[in-house]
Amino acid sequence: MEKVNPKRLLLPQVIELLRHSLHTIQYGYLILTVQDGCVIKMERTEKFIFSSKHKSGYIIRDVPVEQHSFQPKILAQLQGLMYGQLIIRIEDGKIEQIEKTEKRRINEQEGVYGDGI
Can you give the pLDDT at residue 32?
Answer: 96
Task: Give the neighbor-by-neighbor strand order of the sheet with 84-91.
Answer: 38-47, 27-35, 84-91, 94-102
Domain boundaries, the chain: 6-55+63-102
Whole-structure pTM value: 0.73
Pair 14, 77: CB distance under 8 Å: no
Residue 50 vs residue 5, higher pLDDT: 50
Mean pLDDT, residues 103-117: 64
pLDDT digit string, tens, across residues 24-49? 999 999 999 999 899 999 999 998 87
Whether 83 shows a pLDDT value over 80: the answer reads yes
